[in-house]
């Protein structure tokens, strides 16, 4: 979706909807992977429109955006809980973490 200048609020919401769908498709049903992917896509989007504050506002309001610090804390909790790097019990990870 080509946008000239900074996207307006409606365009930001549409862009965030698109990246949320992409993040779901690539999450492997792991909530952690979804939040990780979604947050990375949001950061990419912000870097494409550095003057636009609406993207971050909308992403934070949406509730699925995590900062690098949030992600690090989530990962530390998962390590404590014995989860694999995809946020799943290793024996249930579709990427075979339990087989390694
Ligand atoms: Zn895994």
Q: Write b or e for each residue in 48-64: b if 16 or more Cβ atoms lie within 10 A of its Cβ, otherwise e.
A: ebeebebbbebbeeeeb
CA 92 to ligand 1 center in whole angstroms: 8
CA 34 to ligand 1 center in whole angstroms: 13
CA–CA dist 85, 59 (Å, integer): 24
CA 71 to ligand 1 center in whole angstroms: 16
pLDDT, position 4: 74
CA 25 to ligand 1 center in whole angstroms: 16
pLDDT per residue as tens, the chain (100 positions): 567 788 999 999 999 999 999 999 999 889 999 999 999 999 999 999 999 999 999 999 988 999 999 999 999 999 999 999 999 999 999 889 998 6
**Residue 44 CB neighbour total at 10 angstroms:** 10
């Amino acid at each position: 979706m080509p946008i000239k200048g900074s996207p307006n609020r409606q365009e930001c919401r549409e862009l965030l909807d698109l990246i949320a769908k992409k993040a779901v498709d690539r999450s492997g049903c792991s909530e952690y992977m979804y939040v990780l992917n979604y947050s990375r896509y949001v950061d990419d989007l912000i870097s494409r429109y550095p003057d636009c504050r609406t993207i971050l506002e909308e992403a934070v309001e949406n509730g699925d955006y995590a900062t690098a610090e949030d992600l690090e804390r989530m990962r530390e909790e998962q390590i404590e809980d014995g989860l694999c790097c995809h946020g799943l019990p290793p024996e249930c990870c579709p990427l075979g973490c339990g087989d390694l």
